[in-house]
Structure 1
Amino acid sequence: MLQAMGQAAVRVAVVNDYELVVAGIAGVLAPYADRVEVVELDTRVPVQAEVDVVLYDSFGQSQGRRLDVTGLLGDSHAKLVVFSWNTDPELVEQSLERGAAGYLTKGLTGAELVDALERVHAGERVTPLQTPMRDGDDFGRWPGAEHGLSAREAEVLALLCQGLGNQEITEKAFLGMNTVKTHIRTLYRKIGVQSRTQAVLWGIDHGFRPDRSRHIRED
């Protein structure tokens, strides 16, 4: 725990295209409001409030060389931190090269996430090598979880609903082609469909259409 007594809480904006994902992260951070103050929740819009750190959940989003730090931060002078279950060293390095100030794994607990955000705010570059490594499927929420989809399967379905082909999904999600195909077969079985069109229609009806909203604390 880096925060000294009397030090102001780190102001954080949480960003992702899916409001369910954003709200899930905010809920995990809520018990630590004395250390991390979530002042803005964004889906598909750039950060507007003055914050210290932007926590960018990579679910269904551009990653690595495709990461658009400037577009995400808008006019903010905040530090951007990627939050992802995918901790491939090359992906992490590409994100840092694009301007991310840190890269955190979803295997962290809420307390560990808060500690990592404080360290980034203090000027440290935090990566998965400096944090505990555990499976990240239990962190937060994602569309389709209530239907048995894992976070990885849900992300692939989200990208299908964005109109991406398999090759585009491998590039955007930084997954191998065989992994993408396996996830597609598995999610088809779980949601009871037999084609890509059926999967997309199911996804649109079950929360996989990207949202557009902004929530800023008035105070």
Structure 2
Amino acid sequence: MELNKRVKRDTPPVRVAILNDYEVVVRGIAAMLAPFSNRVEVVELDSGLPVSQPVHVLLYDTYAAAAVDSPEVDRLARDPMVEHTVLYTWAITDEVIQIAATRHVSGVLSKSLGGAELVDALERIYAAQSVISAPEVEDEDTHEGDWPGKEQGLTPRQSEVVVLVVAGLSNQEIAHRCYLSMNSVKSYIRAAYRTMGVKSRTQAVLWGVEHGFRASPRARLLPHGDDHEVPRA
């Protein structure tokens, strides 16, 4: 589905919070949005924490997260700090779209979107449009963000599957979490193993632990710096 033309706005930039359990993922999205700071202001990057300040849009990256039919999505959509909750995902299926509608989610956006397209979509959502953006061809090679294993040659989808392998999920659980078929999960695992140079699940887990495939500590990250605030227990 093609995005409509850019929404004309004379208001300040859309205030955006980005949520995911992996620091490298949220920082990658923030870097992708940085050239559009006159239109979108990334005010918060969260790793495993609720949003702490009012924002127009919460961009929830579903990378290695619970399935979109989990209570977590309900909680995010009803957060009083957030005007609009948006799912940012590879899995734009009829099932996901239906689940999003019942969870009061304002948009479902594909990770294949480029930075300009993503900003256009966020502006439309802030303007109270419901946006489902799924390119006709889902090409993960066009993803501009960052993810664990990118430097080692893993694609985003391979990386996500490996993260779930490291977390101890079975192939069937990964398929449910990522809205993939079992054959697709097995294909991603085989391709990832070749890239990683491993031959077994045990070796893959060890490789993943050594290469940062565990979730970041719960933290509120600073959008424009390397420092981060770890909340007190």
**What is the TM-score normalised by the length of structure 1?**
0.91
Identity of aligned residues (%): 45
TM-score by length of 2: 0.86
Aligned to 1:167: 172
Q: Partners of 2:105 and 2:140 in 1: how far apart?
A: 20
Alpha-carbon separation, structure 2, partners of 1:95 and 1:70? 9
Q: Are 1:213 and 2:227 matched, yes or no?
A: no
Report Cα offsets for 1:90-123 as digits up to 9, x if no partner. Answer: 2222123222110011121111111100111111
Q: Which residue of 2 aligns with 1:94?
A: 99
Question: How far apart, in 1, do the equivalents of 2:59 and 2:189 lie?
Answer: 28
1:17: which partner in 2? 21
Give 1:120's match in structure 2, choosing from 94, 118, 125. Answer: 125
Code of the aligned partner of 1:38: V
Gaps of 5+ in 2: 1-5, 225-233
Separation of aligned partners in 2, 1:67 and 1:155: 21
- Name the SS for the 2:27 alignment partner: helix
Q: Secondary structure at the match of 2:55?
A: coil
Q: Is the 8 A contact 2:58 2:82 kept in 1?
A: no
- Letter of the 1:126 counterpart: V
Aligned to 2:227: none
State how 1:1-219 maps to structure 2 within 5 Å: 1-5=6-10, 7-66=11-70, 68-72=72-76, 74-128=79-133, 134-139=138-143, 140-211=145-216, 212-215=218-221
User: Quick one: structure 1 residues 132 and 182, their matched pair in 2 at CA, closer, same or farther if it must change by over 3 Å?
Assistant: closer
Name the residue aligned to 2:229.
Answer: none
Q: Indicate conservation of the 8 Å contact 1:60/1:158, yes or no.
A: yes
* SS at 2:209 equivalent: helix
Deviation, structure 1 residue 201: 1.3
SS of match in other structure, 1:111: helix
Deviations 1:143-166 (A, max 9, x none): 111111111111100111222111
**2:230 corresponds to:** none
Do the aligned partners of 1:156 and 1:180 also contact (CA within 8 Å) in 2?
yes
Residues 169-189 of structure 1, C-alpha deviation per residue, up to 9 Å, x if partnerless? 111111111111111111111
Hey, which of these two has a bigger chunk of helix by percent? Answer: 1
Aligned-pair CA distance for 1:71: 3.5
Q: Distance in 1 between matches of 2:183 and 2:12?
A: 47
**For structure 1, which segment, 75-84 or 150-159, has the greater mean C-alpha deviation from structure 2 after superposition?**
75-84
Q: Give the RMSD, CA atoms, in angstroms.
A: 1.9
1:133 Cα deviation (Å)? Answer: 5.2
The answer to whether the Cα contact below 8 Å between 2:7 and 2:120 also exists between their aligned partners in 1 is yes
Contact 1:47 1:76 in 2 (8 A): yes
What is the alpha-carbon distance in structure 2 between the residues aligned to residue 33 and residue 67 of structure 1?
32
Q: Which moved more, 1:58-67 or 1:19-28?
A: 58-67
